Structure 1
Amino acid sequence: MTLLSNLIHQLGKPYFQTDQCLIYHRDCLEGFALLPDQSIHLTLTSPPYNIGKEYEKQLPLDKYLDWCEQWIAEIYRIAYPSGSFWLNLGYLSIRDRAKAIPIPYLLWNRVPFYLIQEIIWHYGAGVAGSKFFSPRNEKFLWYVKNPENYTFNLDEVRDPNVKYPNQKKNGKIKVNLKGKNPTDVWDFPKVTSGKNRSSKERTSHPAQFPIAVIERIIKASSNPNEIILDPFMGSGTTGLVALDLGRPVIGFEMREDYCEIAANRIEDFLRKKAECNAQLSLF
């Protein structure tokens, strides 16, 4: 019996299923209502930004913030006592007030979790500004349920690129042999599109996370066999990385075409992994 066995009885038949992965074509609020308290170790997601993208229905700002508060409160309820919540949100405009305000700044008093840190994702390529500095970052907010007891696996995500690896103090190597603690500014390229510059991992989803970003978060904030949740699954990057790192994963996604993209990516990943293991077993 897998860790997801009990939860599938609560959630019902998924759109896509493997032993360690459940994807539901469902509004996340409907899914949350079926999940028991303290059942999810790490939630990692990027909801719609309310800026009129093809995958969202744009709401008045106050309604959008109320909606965010509602689903975040549910994530808090289902979070494990030592669980974490990583939230990625971009920018939106407010008429006569702001051209591009970071959405987390509008939610600061609506989130019941404890904020550990804001992470800046510097993504390289982007829009070129003529009357403003060219934007090149988004925010990740790292929240925990209990600031005295949460998972942080620093050794799993250390940066091996140490400038002075042999530096000593009192005759002993000064730096950690596994590498240095990454800063709160992460340099990972965007998943780009285009005929000549499309990323290898690119799908048809218009707002796809790079695998490297999600890998760092899952390694740092969860342990093998702990359940990962992405309530806005999109192209399925969270599911793909979670499975690769030995974590069971649940995803909710409103659009069926995105469910299909995620399911196909995960099936392809599992097939290639099985083929690789079969080859290795020959030696």
Structure 2
Amino acid sequence: MTQATAQVLPFRQPLTTSIECKDNIEFMHALPKESMQLIVTSPPYNIGKEYEKRTSRQVYIEEQAATIAEAVRLLSPQGSICWQVGNHVDDGEVFPLDILLYDLFKNHGLKLRNRIIWSFGHGLHCQKRFSGRHEAILWFTKGDDYTFNLDPVRVPSKYPNKKHFKGPNRGKISSNPLGKNPADLWEIPNVKANHVEKTIHPCQFPVALIERLVLALTNPGDNVLDPYLGVGSSAIAALKHGRHAYGCDVMPEYVDVARDRVGQLFAGTLRTRPMDKPIYDPTGKSAE
């Protein structure tokens, strides 16, 4: 059955169009080779959500292998792939998808640069195991000559006035005035009912999560692709910072929401949680 997908057009063009594709592979196949600087997405976890059909793990891995192969074809030589995944759960047993999918990327010769842990404070409450409060982002590149811009994503230093205590720089500030490297553990709230970005999607990206990847791994004018677009959070993160955004999804209602959110972005009315907003303020009250 033919399902609708969407392409979000380049920055400064507040217009979206839809095309008819059978799936994300067909959409991706129509894009030029090595045309994407960043491919960032969160695929289905094969747990039976409304936007996916639950299959065997083997079939799921085969489907992911096909999507990943097409992503590698589209990736520029200096580009990055960021695959954000959680766990597949079967009869109470947990199967970490980053472990299951790792070899699919390595089979294409990609190099893992970071296994980023996205930590969030809310989720399902488990009864027979500890409640999951994190997921992983696998960041791969094709080679060693890849784009990485640290300065735009630095976070405040814990001790901004710390000084060298010995050596030729004794007495001088030792920390970078722009802040510190955010490292590979990111504490960013997930999108739940009271989140300013909440839409109809049950598992949508927070825009801030993708903003950090867009700013660090691309430059203005670069192309960003999300083959599982959902309600367009990755497109918003890209467009917000002067990149071009492309994406597709098999759920027409999600595509409609993505179009509407992009329109709000260009109109200046879209509400997003600021990337640098702390989870808690100094008074101990929740920043949400």
TM-score (norm 1): 0.85
Shift in Å, 1:121: 0.6
Shift in Å, 1:107: 1.6
In structure 2, the CA distance between the partners of 1:60 and 1:265, relative to structure 1 (3 Å rule), is same
1:178 equivalent in alignment to 2:175: no
- 8 A contact 2:7–2:246 mirrored in 1: no
Instruction: Report what 1:64 is aligned to.
Output: 60
- 8 A contact 1:24–1:253 mirrored in 2: no
Structure 1 counterpart SS, 2:115: strand
Q: Which amino acid in structure 2 is aligned with residue 132 of structure 1?
A: R
1:212 equivalent in alignment to 2:182: no
1:164 equivalent in alignment to 2:164: no
Structure 1 CA distance for aligned equivalents of residues 9 and 77 of structure 2: 27
- 8 A contact 1:215–1:241 mirrored in 2: yes
- 8 A contact 1:24–1:251 mirrored in 2: no
Superposed CA RMSD: 2.0
Q: Which amino acid in structure 2 is aligned with residue 38 of structure 1?
A: E
Instruction: Report what 2:228 is aligned to.
Output: 232
- 8 A contact 1:23–1:250 mirrored in 2: no
Structure 2 counterpart SS, 1:110: helix
1:104 equivalent in alignment to 2:101: no
Structure 2 CA distance for aligned equivalents of residues 16 and 270 of structure 1: 16
2:117 to 97, 116, 120: 120
Unaligned runs of 5+ in 2: 165-169, 271-288
Unaligned runs of 5+ in 1: 1-13, 275-283
- State which drifts further: 165-174 or 215-224: 165-174
Structure 2 counterpart SS, 1:109: helix
- State which drifts further: 51-60 or 86-95: 86-95
- 8 A contact 1:159–1:182 mirrored in 2: yes
Structure 2 CA distance for aligned equivalents of residues 15 and 187 of structure 1: 30
Structure 2 CA distance for aligned equivalents of residues 270 and 90 of structure 1: 32
Structure 2 counterpart SS, 1:132: coil
Q: Which amino acid in structure 1 is aligned with residue 124 of structure 2?
A: V
1:129 equivalent in alignment to 2:126: yes
Structure 2 CA distance for aligned equivalents of residues 166 and 19 of structure 1: 42
Structure 1 CA distance for aligned equivalents of residues 48 and 62 of structure 2: 18
1:203 to 196, 199, 206: 199
- State which drifts further: 251-260 or 27-36: 27-36
Structure 2 CA distance for aligned equivalents of residues 182 and 78 of structure 1: 28
Shift in Å, 1:171: 2.5
Structure 2 counterpart SS, 1:151: coil
CA displacement 1:4-38 (0-9 Å, x = unmatched): xxxxxxxxxx8565543756453210012212211
Structure 1 counterpart SS, 2:103: coil
Structure 2 counterpart SS, 1:216: helix
Structure 2 CA distance for aligned equivalents of residues 127 and 105 of structure 1: 22
- 8 A contact 1:23–1:253 mirrored in 2: no
Structure 2 CA distance for aligned equivalents of residues 82 and 192 of structure 1: 35
Instruction: Report what 1:78 is aligned to.
Output: 74
Size of the alignment, in residue pairs? 254
